Amino acid sequence: MTTSSQPVRVIQWCTGKIGQIAIRHFAANPAFELVGVYTTSADKNGVDAGALAGIGPLGVTATTDREALLALDADCVNYLPLKVDIDELEELLRSGKNVVTAVGLTFPPPDDERTARLQAACEAGGTTLHGGGIHPGFVGDIFPLVASRLLSRIDQLVVTEVCDFSDHPGAKMIFDLFGFGLTPDEARKHAVAIMGEVDAPYAESMALLATALGLNVERYSHELTMAVSDRDLTIAAGVIRAGTVAGMRRRWEAIVDGRPALVFLSNWKMADDLTPDICDGTNRYILEFFGEPATKITLEHLEPSATGDPGYPGRIWTGMSAVNLIHDVVAAPPGVRTHLDLPLGRPRGLFHKGETWRPSA
């Protein structure tokens, strides 16, 4: 196990866009040492992690050999597949590696069979698991919980997310997982199986916040609205034809005393001026506390994205929300640990020399 004077030895698990951001962070931040990289792609097997992340060579190559990484001496795995694989997580935890992830598990239900399996794996490996992310994982739970210290009374809290995915290159996520580009009827059929995976982390985040604020929730509700474009849209992941789904709005409510005390609004879009209108403008997160005093807090990037992709800052937020808790997770007692179990967080090594990363021409 690492000491406070040693860098934490990390394995990056999967090398998508957020995984690449994490690799660049581990390379630049002296509080970390990148010791392994897992990829599911044969094309990336044997490729230097720095090359995959768009920087100079790091001397650590990506591998498709899971067993080799399970046998590796490492303190923590930054787990970033497209979706959580419980069997895989169990193996990692039982191998003696702590795990952080930004793809769910922010507040796993204690009576859920998955939670029991992961808890047992933590106990067997003497390890800790923490799920984070920007939303779910930060904006919808720990951020409003801390901000609530400023208020005298809360009548309602509304958390609004605006995400423009038009420059996101992940076709599998955009089309296969989320269901963009389908007709509304197709998307609703698609949503029966797929949206459960999307909804669950938001529901966990809302439940964590309700628990932290001492709310007795009578029930949770969810509503999905789909929007279409009147023109073909060429996006980074492909083409969305006119009349197919180009925007989605989800609304979750936690009903307390017959009224929505907590509201999450997620607005995902490929363009403005959709039918019905989803939400115009740049990527941002908004907290609105209605009560005493009525208060609004907005989180958005201060400068234009360095990559030209308006979603890029949000992907940094997503990845770093988990990465910057790694030291606290490594130091925590074994088990599945949420924001309610961990300290507020003491990110290490952020004040270091460096330049804003930009993709090479």
Distance CA 138, CA 157 (A): 15
What is the residue extent of each domain of the chain? Answer: 8-132+325-336, 142-308
Neighbours of 253 (CB within 10 A): 21
Per-residue b or e along 27-60, where b marks 16 or more CB atoms closer than 10 Å to that residue's CB: bbbebbbbbbbbbeeeebeebbbbebbebeebeb
Distance CA 81, CA 197 (A): 13
CA-derived radius of gyration, the chain: 20
Class of domain 8-132+325-336: alpha beta
Distance CA 21, CA 245 (A): 29
Tens of pLDDT along the chain (361 residues)? 454 579 999 999 999 999 999 999 999 999 999 999 999 999 999 999 999 999 999 999 999 999 999 999 999 999 999 889 999 999 999 999 999 999 988 999 888 999 999 999 999 999 999 999 999 999 999 999 999 999 999 999 999 999 988 988 888 888 988 889 999 888 887 764 455 666 788 889 999 999 999 999 999 998 989 999 999 999 999 999 999 999 999 999 999 999 999 999 999 999 999 999 888 888 899 999 999 999 999 999 988 788 888 788 999 999 999 999 999 999 999 999 999 999 999 999 999 988 889 888 6
